[in-house]
Chains A and B, each alone.
Chain A
Amino acid sequence: MMNQPLEIIPTSIKLSADGGVTIQWTDLHTATYPYAYLRRHCPCAMCRDNPPVVKTTPDPFPILGKNSNPIKTTGATPVGRYAIQFQWNDGHSEGIYSYAYLREICPCEDCQKSNSTG
């Protein structure tokens, strides 16, 4: 059997009701991505050019707008073996978040620190 290096990919992906998306990785690293953070980092071409305005608090006048709720996912679909696609409650679902990209934007303190220094 060939010895291949450990692939850094998620072992589990949990979408919780209000917390966000918790990803555990093959190297045992674990972090929770707040929904607003993930939505802001949508990798689709449209969002890259025009970063989306993301609601994080409930709309005080819900009657005036359709998207009155704070951002969260309504579902998620795996994309082959390498990525995941989130469906958002603002109607957007185009972004394909590759596992490599998700790891790159990991919001945990350690990763953010090493990103800013590196």
Chain B
Amino acid sequence: MGFLKKDSSLNEKEILAALNSINDPDLKQDIVRLGSVNNLKINAGKVTLTIKLTNPACPIKDQIKMEAENIIKKLNGVTDVSVSMDFEVTSQGAGNIPNMIPKVRNTIAVASGKGGVGKSTIAANLASALMKCGARVGLMDADVYGPSIPTLMGDSQKPQITENRIIPPVIHNVKMISMGYFLPKEEAVIWRGPMLHKMIQQFLGEVEWGDLDYLVIDLPPGTGDIQLSLCQTIPLTGAVIVSTPQDLALQVASKAIAMFRKLKTPILGLVENMSFYVCSHCGKRDDIFSHGGTLKASQELNLPFLGAIPLSTEIRRHSDEGHPTALTENPYSKVFRSIASSVASQISITNYRASNIPSMEISN
């Protein structure tokens, strides 16, 4: 910066002081104190800066940009202003404890109690939607019994195996691994616990995930070996619980919630799938599995409600074609993106809170 400038009244301090009225929408703290304002430059009255949020899918990104520009414009000596928006996903700060996947910032388990509620569809769309916002995403299919991720995400090459490392295929810009790649379609996995545990460890530790913002993990239904192994092998960032609105499904979902609570895994929220059906002929809406049960359950359990997805022929078709709805442009893709945004927001909040992983010190 020059020593004698015409716009000497305008300085960085002044700009930052003005911007501290803007709050981060997830963390509810002002963006200056959070250190979100970066690359602040003043050049003869022209102000440029970058605001870095922790949520790549922030729904009010443009609003924040406009608000910041308007605030700066009003300052004395400003002739021009340009605010660019960026993001940096935070991790949970695992302290000094060694982690099997240190370059993966967040791990999200998609779980349910009951089978057939659409976990895999939601996992595939969650991963796709997060990728679409610019995040680096992986998708791990931990459902060995019914691996459906390869179908949902579309055909790909098989994973490459080089000296103890598995190179995951990349489809729709998402790194993926699934038992489906290692077994012929007509074969089944008939394994006991120790084998399942080994698979989880290999899928996490031996797959070349690289730097990821989010690793989405599609779990089989229930509260069995795979769930327990996963929760023991890595400190999960959190779990997303999927349920249909009917009482039966919700009752079983509460078992999954109880398991994660017992294993001290944060629950990021609940998603209601098959929320309702709109007839494509008459346009009449039908609540096949009842409606709103998941929202009510999330309120009772004091957990965030992440969103509701209707039963739709289109989503089904996209799933079978291997092109997740979240990658398309239609009303349903917006729903998936809004759910992804809520999940990312819950992760930002969880990571911002004091780390709930103890520090360890060994001096013997």
Contacts and interface: CB of A to CB of B under 8 A. Distances in A.
B364 A81 contact: no
B84 to A, nearest CB: 28
Given A14-B363, A15-B363, A73-B364, A78 B264 contact: no
Contacts of A4: 302
A80 to B, nearest CB: 4
Interface in B250-298: 262-265
A64 interface: no
Nearest to B349: A1
Interface string B319-363: 000000000000000000000000000000100000011111111
B231 interface: yes
Contact of A13 (B236, B265, B358): B358
Interface of A: 1-2, 4, 7, 9-18, 23, 26, 72-76, 78-83, 96, 99
A62 B65 CA distance: 73
Interface of B: 28, 97, 231-236, 262-265, 302-304, 349, 356-364
Nearest to B27: A1
Contacts, number: 75
Interface majority SS (helix, strand, loop, mixed), chain B: loop
B360 A78 contact: yes
Given A2-B303, A4-B302, A9-B264, A78 B362 contact: no
A10 B231 CA distance: 17
Given A1-B28, A7-B264, A72-B364, A80 B234 contact: yes
B112 to A, nearest CB: 20
B356 A13 contact: no
Contacts of B264: 7, 9, 80-82, 99
Contacts of B265: 80-82
